Amino acid sequence: MKNVRLYMIFQWVVFLPIILPMCIIFGALYGVVQMVERVIDQIRVDIMPSEQNQLLH
């Protein structure tokens, strides 16, 4: 039977409730920032006239 390290179990029990919500919150915020950047880039592509469009008109 493997030696169970009680101190490590104690650390996981204590810190998991702190770390897990932080990871979820920061992951969600990172996802929001990434999506906003993609939307802004798509707006630039759709609205800003490119050189090719200017040459055609």
Beta strands per DSSP E along 12-53 = none
Rounded Cα distance, 36 and 18, in Å: 28
pLDDT of amino acid 50: 66
Rounded Cα distance, 43 and 29, in Å: 21
Report domain extents, the chain: 1-42
pTM over 0.85: no
Give me 29's structure tokens: 């915020």
pLDDT of amino acid 52: 54
pLDDT, averaged in runs of 10, over the chain (57 residues) = 81 94 97 96 84 54
Rounded Cα distance, 7 and 16, in Å: 14
